[in-house]
Amino acid sequence: MLTQHTYFNLDAFKDPATSKIWNHTIHLPYSKRYLEAGEDAVPTGKILTAAPNSINDLASTTHSLGFAQNDPAFAGNCGAGGRCEGYNNFWLIDGAPKDAVVLTLASPFSGIKAELRTDQAGAVIYTCNWMDGSGQLKSTQGTTTTKTVGRSSCIAIEAQDFPDGINQ
């Protein structure tokens, strides 16, 4: 299955307030359903529907990526027995018109906005839960204090077919 795994921080790590991406906004207007993440952080194949204003409700309105950080379930939302925070989930794209924007990611700090159009079944949203701070930033990124990619400091958006679909 083909996809890409590019990491983004729309602030280029230049926001003096934070190197995390929780202030980035996201909206998936055609994605009320998502795949449950197992304890191994791999989709179980079970399709769930996001309740309005729940952690995984990225369809009803534009949210900051960190809007649900105070919810106790946020720490284990992406499976892995609570060892990850944020997102490592697959959202189904349902009923999107051809060439519609199915995902918007934006930064209020930089003003940069990215839009995704795809013919794939959905998209994985991964908020860099497993980054350990050992990955070096490019010389054009970062501040005098931020030199590496740490946990929750980037996001990958992977348009693709159902992950692990062959086994589910």
When comparing pLDDT for 1 and 39, which is higher? 39
pLDDT tens sequence across 3-58: 777 889 999 888 989 989 999 999 999 999 999 888 887 888 899 999 998 999 99
What is the separation, in whole angstroms, between the first and last Cα of the chain?
A: 14
User: Could you tell me if residue 2 is inside a domain?
Assistant: no
Q: Which has more confidence, 92 or 14?
A: 92
Whether residue 82 lies inside any domain: the answer is: yes
Decide which of 23 and 76 is more confident.
Answer: 23
Judge whether residue 167 has pLDDT over 80.
no
- Show the domain range for 59: 7-167
- CATH code, domain with 144: 2.70.98.10
* pLDDT above 90 coverage of the chain, percent: 52
Q: How far apart are CA 13 and CA 112, in angstroms?
A: 13
> What pLDDT does residue 40 have?
81
Nearest-angstrom CA–CA distance, 62 and 43: 24
Indicate whether 1 belongs to any domain.
no
Structural domain count, the chain? 1
Position 87 in a domain: yes
